[in-house]
Amino acid sequence: MLREANVRTGFFEANEFLALIDALPKYLQPMVMFAYYTGWRKREILSLQWKQVDLHEQIIRLNPDQAKNGFERMVALDGELLAILREQFEARKVVQL
């Protein structure tokens, strides 16, 4: 076998992730859950705009200029990730009023 360089470490087990979510303030939980489910970087998540989120088609597009590698990425939304984004979208409506 070839030797691997730059091996990633420090992954969460499911129970550790749930404990982290419970310990976080409510306002941070959706962002951390989004990061966990997508694997996207902090900068990629924070630069995301609602115009890139299509809840009807259940997809998110990350523009090439937002991605570290310069390539567009898409993520399909389902399950808990879709529920998180729908909740955030509804909360956004309330704040805008």
Average pLDDT of the segment spanning 40-66: 93
Q: Give the separation between CA 96 and CA 24, rounded to whole angstroms.
A: 25
The pair of three-digit structure tokens given for residue 31, joined into one six-digit string = 């962002």
Average pLDDT of the segment spanning 62-87: 92
Q: Give the separation between CA 57 and CA 88, rounded to whole angstroms.
A: 17
What pTM does this model have?
A: 0.80
pLDDT value at residue 94: 76
The residue among 36 and 5 whose pLDDT is bigger is: 36
